[in-house]
Copies of this chain bind each other. A is one copy, B any other.
Amino acid sequence: MRAFTLFTLLASTALAIPSPKISSVRKPGWRGGPNRRRDIITNQVNTTSSSPSTTASKDNIWAYLTNDEAASTIAFLHNQTDLNLTSVEDAGDWDNTIMVIDLLVPNKTDALAYLDGNGTKPERWVLASLLFGATEEPYAQDWVVGPLPISEKTTYYPYTFGTHTEDAKIRIYDMDSAYDLYVNTSMEIKDIISDILNATIDTEDDLNANFDIWGIDPLWHQPDEYGNDRVITWVGFWRYPDPVQSQNSSINFDGETLLPQGLYFQCDITGRDPSKYGLMGILYGDEYYTSTAEFRSAWEKPDFKKYTPNMQGDWVGTDQAGEQLPLETLPPPRNIQPGGQRFKVDEENKYIEWMDFTFYLTFTRDTGMRLYDIKYKGERIIYELGLQEAVAHYAGNDPVQSGTSYLDTYYGFGPYAFSQIPGFDMPLYAYCMNTSFHAAEISKSHRCGISIFEADQNYLIQRHSSQQYISATKNIALTVRSVSTVGNYDYNFDYVFYLDGSIETIVRASGYIQSAYYAANSEYGYQIKDGLSGSMHDHALNFKVDFDILGTENTLVKHVVEATDVKYKWNNLTRSTMHLVRKEVTSEDQGKMNWSANGQEQVVIVNKDAPNKYGEPRGYKIMPSRGGAGMHLTIKNSSNLINSQGFADHAYYVTKRKDSELRASSAWNDYDTAKPLVDFNKFFDGDNLEQEDIVMWFNLGMHHVPHTGDIPNTVFSTAQGGMIITPHNYLLSDPTRQSTQQIRINYNNDNSTTDVYTFGSQQASGDVNLDQVSWDPYTYYGDVAVRKFPYDPQNPFNDTESIV
């Protein structure tokens, strides 16, 4: 679920402080509670005492905005009277506010001129997403502000260049809360609710203490009998888990999405006057009623069928439960780093050097961690790599599941990329990098938003043995990790760099499923608890990879293994064999593709103008590495997503790169999926793709039909997808031969092992003190917030906010 709920039980002593960004992108049914300001605790997360540093030769031109940049931009915008902005702290529904301030990345031409030549450092520009509430037809709009620092040269204008709607605007249809309607309707039938949901609801407080009411995302539009567009929502009842008392605190397990109650309201929420919002229908037990009266009449009949409500209990929690397994409490194997950190960091530029890879990191509110300018052996191979959008598309016999297709960048992967836990999310010796974003006039930082670490991959990278010798090379890889808990799901994002020149992109999902009520839902999932159905859904996470193989002019080719019958000159009989067929994708008209059956297509990005000495074009191959073959949405024309699913209905895509086509989606598409701010399908306009600057967009995903094993949480081990890119005729031989972490043993000769080669690799020996690299979990504090308007940089405070 994605309703933004703060736990009122915990906020009883709340003070008035600025509500963070999420109040600006709330959904219908949102009922935020205020938040407490706290003193900042600036704890150092890194447990490694020293780590090798470096200095990037060029500045990180994709670095997210500093606190000062964000604050000055916000102040600049507030000075523009035509925007009529109200500070978020003071704003109501009928005000204009600033939602998000983020970097507008430089044009690639300018960036390359700076990075590769004598070009000046590109100016810093801002993409500001504003919310215009002071109108009958509220909308979000993307604006460009720049250059920074703010000066007389600084201008601002709508970002029409990079969006597909008029004036970069997208309509908002849920600016005003319909929660009163849900509450009033509930109170009309509080006796029925008490009966069928096994609760005692006398007052609104009773209702609020027991149930959360929220529903479909995105909203529906449908014509009324006169053909007028009406805005429709369906909401369902969800039960709150009870608090769990600990020694010093009380928490609630975040399992509300396991507690659907099977009662749904259909509401017309057209227009800006909540008093005119109206109930259209009620669904319970797969029966549809057009009014509370009709529902009451049915309920009063003796044959009214009551279903099992989902009640909270220990089963919703994730704590250790059940029998302890033999020897399981003993300390398990773990990675140590006896030689210290073997990569270098330019902390200020978020620049990493590991072996013969270098790259820059940055972070955005919408999509979280991003990588730029990935070089291998001094040559750029990827200009940009990162998540574009994640869709979770549900289906069900009830309208809330059927109507749910989360576009998760709406909520943002940045805000919820909470600080990682040393020793769990990462080895204790990992390097931690702070990440920040600026939303709703608050800047937040995740203390360990990105972890970076080497680890042994538990299998070799190279091996060969004979009766004379054995040769083996360790597979030590570098992982760059960020984990975002977007509501119920925890998405673990890894970029893994290997000694063979490969880079793997992996996404894994854990956390709570969003489940469905079981009544008559067997066509859409398994029954997994007394009143529960695992709600079937598809995940598709789209990634952009802007390859630059030895320059920007590249071509996507397919080297296909095909069966064939051939009569060779050296044989009278026709032979049934196979051969390699080379194909090229030369136009965007061919740019939407699926992985081939039986994996027979090798997909390679090559530079045809850069053949190797044998005439083969140098390139990088891309192929599915984990979790099957990179799945995409089952539904091609979703009633929920309409024109906003273009990035998710094929396995991968290739387009000509344009500065106006930076991202496959917009975070605000969710407001109006029929008229998205960024329509990925519009990228495909027949451009030539042969030796052009091309971009590949691939999906990772899974078809998730939750079963009993998803209770209480989905496990990462079987919910993962990966894609690997790997040098293909790129170098003249295998680069892992450079590694000294290998051994050759000559044996089986003269009755003994005669020679052992270790190639200069240093061996760890002696004592390792496990406490030197340890971490006190009582120092886990979550995020740091800085208020931006009015700017208050001297008073950061601890503040972590999740979606339920």
Contact = CB atoms under 8 A, between A and B. Distances in A.
Contact of A770 (B338, B614, B710): B338
A429 interface: yes
A628 B634 contact: no
Contact of A246 (B332, B726, B754): B754
A377 to B, nearest CB: 10
Contacts of A732: 708, 711
Nearest to A327: B342
Given A628-B629, A748-B782, A251 B458 contact: no
Contacts of A762: 329-331
B740 A703 contact: no
A222 interface: yes
Contacts of A638: 576-577
Interface stretch (A58-66, A91-99, A199-207, A314-322): A314-322
B740 A777 contact: no
B597 A594 contact: yes
B634 A561 contact: yes
A121 interface: no
Q: Which of A465, A524, A595 has the most CB atoms of chain B within a 10 A radius of its CB?
A: A465
6 contacts: A222-B573, A328-B738, A395-B578, A424-B460, A467-B801, A623-B718
A764 interface: yes
A708 B730 contact: yes
B757 A319 contact: yes
Interface residues of A, number: 230
Given A402-B575, A568-B397, A715-B500, A424 B41 contact: no
A610 to B, nearest CB: 13
Interface string A320-359: 1111111111111111111111111000000001011000
B458 A329 contact: no
A331 to B, nearest CB: 3
A468 B510 contact: no
A138 B344 CA distance: 66
A498 interface: yes
B764 A580 contact: no
A248 B754 contact: yes
The 6 closest A-B pairs by CB, nearest first: A331-B339, A330-B339, A249-B754, A331-B764, A320-B759, A527-B614
Interface in A460-483: 460-476, 479, 483
A490 B511 contact: no
Contacts of A52: 327
Given A465-B485, A733-B709, A331 B338 contact: yes
Nearest to A254: B466
A454 interface: yes
A662 interface: no
A637 to B, nearest CB: 5
Interface stretch (A165-173, A298-306, A585-593, A598-606): A598-606
A492 interface: yes
Contacts of A777: 743, 745, 753, 756
Interface in A597-651: 597-600, 602, 612, 614-616, 623-629, 631-632, 634-639, 651
A546 B625 CA distance: 26
Nearest to A246: B755
A791 interface: no
Given A463-B492, A464-B485, A771 B765 contact: yes
B322 A570 contact: no
A707 interface: yes
A462 B703 contact: no
A687 to B, nearest CB: 26
A45 interface: no
A750 B326 contact: no
Given A335-B336, A536-B579, 10 more contacts: A251-B469, A254-B469, A315-B733, A318-B462, A421-B472, A465-B490, A528-B729, A563-B635, A745-B777, A753-B777
A418 interface: yes
Given A328-B342, A523-B579, A754-B249, A629 B599 contact: yes
A780 B332 contact: no
A738 B319 CA distance: 9
A734 B710 contact: yes
Contacts of A512: 464
A283 interface: yes
A188 interface: no
A744 B461 CA distance: 35
A276 interface: no
A41 B41 CA distance: 61
A38 interface: yes
A561 B701 CA distance: 14
Nearest to A332: B476
A154 interface: no
Given A281-B570, A288-B570, A470 B780 contact: yes
A580 B401 CA distance: 14
A396 to B, nearest CB: 8
A238 to B, nearest CB: 15
A179 B244 CA distance: 80
Contact of A717 (B246, B461, B651): B461
A449 interface: no
B729 A724 contact: no
Contact of A460 (B254, B492, B572, B733): B492
Interface in A538-560: 538, 559
Nearest to A571: B399
A760 B576 CA distance: 63
A494 interface: yes
Interface in A469-523: 469-476, 479, 483, 485, 490, 492, 494, 498, 500-502, 508, 510-512, 523
Interface string A764-800: 1111111100100111111000000000000000111
Given A319-B759, A733-B712, A747-B800, A222 B572 contact: yes
B703 A561 contact: yes
Nearest to A287: B569
A597 B600 contact: no
A731 B708 contact: yes
Contacts of A575: 402, 639
Nearest to A741: B332
Interface in A690-743: 702-703, 705, 707-713, 715-718, 724, 726-743
B338 A335 contact: no
A137 interface: no
A343 B331 contact: no
Nearest to A641: B576
A462 B510 contact: yes
A468 to B, nearest CB: 4
A643 to B, nearest CB: 13
A467 B598 contact: no
A226 interface: no
Contact of A733 (B320, B615, B711): B711
Contacts of A471: 318-319
